[in-house]
Amino acid sequence: MTTGALVGIGWLVLYSASALVAEGRFGDQYYFLKRQILWTALGTAALLAAYHIPLAWIQKMARPLLVTTVVLLVMVLVSGHEVMGAKRWLRFGGFGFQPSELAKLGLILALADYLDRRQSRLGRFLNGFVPSLVLTGMVVGLIVLERDLGTPLLIGCVAMGMIFLAGARPAHLMATVLAVLPALYLAVFHVAYRRQRFLAFLDPWKDAKGTGYQLVQSLLALGSGGLWGKGAGESTIKMYYMPETQTDFIFPIFGEEFGFVGTSIVTALYFYLSYTCLRVATQAVHWFHALVAAGVGLWLGGQVLINLGVVTGLLPTKGIPLPFMSFGGSSMLVLMTGIGLVLNVSRQAGTPILSSSSARKIA
């Protein structure tokens, strides 16, 4: 029900945010909405499949899915469709697919499989903890080569969360984080466009017509919505003041039209859904099931936090879509599949595998 409510709200705000752009670019104001509905239908089919397929089969498919994901990520680097200097899409006819979205779910399943099989060894550094880092690093590294830093950060955080919940030593996790920080510093401050984005994040008004433009317009849209908003379809910022509002910056349009009350309700729905996934993990009857549900919950919550942090100026600009609302077929398809897996976990009967202390850790 929560997922359906978010999808429905997403259709409403997507049409409002994209109608003018779609009319001018494609001569059809419903262009983006129709494609989103199509992807939602495919996502619903994927959700139902993920709900009904035995989870034992899902676990057997985890490693082949990861291999397929890696192959697709390599294909993007070799022959991907380039947009604004970044290769992140594979084109199939008139549709594009973003393998980095599949990588989120693919890594969650592969890690859950590995951590389930090697849980007793996870406290050991070389033959327990390190292989989980290798899995994560392989996927993250390929996505970094696509000139995408936001998605690897999200995937890395989800992976660390899953490894922690599986019982890894905090000292090993802390050492990993400290080792990654210098590389993250170089990736941000030694790449010109990322450095400019970070400086714009610190003071967007300093260059409000340049690098800070998108964030300034986002803040103006959210602020002008007030308590109740201007009403559905009444946003003015979307009228060519903010480019590509149907993608990562769709939330400010919703905020302008539905105000603080509307954004609060939607934010609560997101985090209720994420919390529900984590609660399902505490009731799972198998470690693989628990880690899948926890991974999806961390992924959903983390992606929402990053997107909302970006559009409100709390985080530097990253290309992270808002789940179920931003235009994007790859994101919709993979997210719906993830929700289907959590629903599948929730219907498994039996005694929860997690101890009370582990349950408190996840909850």
pTM: 0.92
Share of the chain above pLDDT 90, in %: 66
List C-alpha distances in Å: 135 to 117, 139, 148, 302: 14, 7, 18, 20
Q: Taking 70 as the threshold, does the pLDDT of residue 262 lie above it?
A: yes
> CB within 8 A of 148, min separation 6: which ones?
86, 88, 100, 319
Q: Taking 70 as the threshold, does the pLDDT of residue 160 lie above it?
A: yes
Q: Taking 80 as the threshold, does the pLDDT of residue 351 lie above it?
A: no
Give me 112's structure tokens. Answer: 């859950």
Strands 81-83 and 86-92: antiparallel
Q: Taking 50 as the threshold, does the pLDDT of residue 311 lie above it?
A: yes
Phi, psi of 89 (to 5 degrees): -125, 145
Closest CA to 152 of 142, 161, 165, 160: 142
Strands 81-83 and 95-97: unpaired
pLDDT reported for residue 200? 85
Closest CA to 217 of 150, 313, 307: 313
Q: Taking 80 as the threshold, does the pLDDT of residue 81 lie above it?
A: no
Give me 162's structure tokens. Answer: 């899953």
Q: Taking 90 as the threshold, does the pLDDT of residue 219 lie above it?
A: yes
Q: Taking 60 as the threshold, does the pLDDT of residue 300 lie above it?
A: yes
Strand (E) or helix (H) holding 302: helix 287-311
User: How high does pLDDT run on average in the chain?
Assistant: 90
Please give the average per-residue pLDDT across 311-326, as a whole number: 91
Radius of gyration in angstroms for the set of CA atoms belonging to the chain, rounded to a whole number:
20
Handedness of CA 227, 231, 233, 235 (dihedral sign): negative
> CB within 8 A of 296, min separation 6: which ones?
105, 108, 277, 338, 339, 341, 342
Give me 11's structure tokens. Answer: 């259709």
Taking the CB of residue 161, how many other CB atoms lie within 10 A of it?
19
pLDDT class of 78 with cuts at 50, 70, 90:
confident
Domain layout of the chain by residue ranges: 1-52+207-363, 61-190
Q: Taking 90 as the threshold, does the pLDDT of residue 326 lie above it?
A: yes
- DSSP class of residue 125? I
Q: Taking 50 as the threshold, does the pLDDT of residue 357 lie above it?
A: no
pLDDT reported for residue 123? 83
Give residue-wise pLDDT tens across range 191-209: 888 888 888 888 888 888 8
pLDDT reported for residue 309? 95
From 15-19, 89-93, 263-267, the region with the lowest mean pLDDT: 89-93
Question: Where is pLDDT greater, at 275 or 167?
Answer: 275
Residues pairing with 89 in the sheet: 81
Q: Are 11 and 41 in contact (CB under 8 A)?
A: no
Give residue-wise pLDDT tens across range 13-70: 999 999 988 998 899 999 999 999 999 999 999 999 999 999 999 999 999 999 999 9
pLDDT class of 276 with cuts at 50, 70, 90:
very high
- DSSP class of residue 170? H
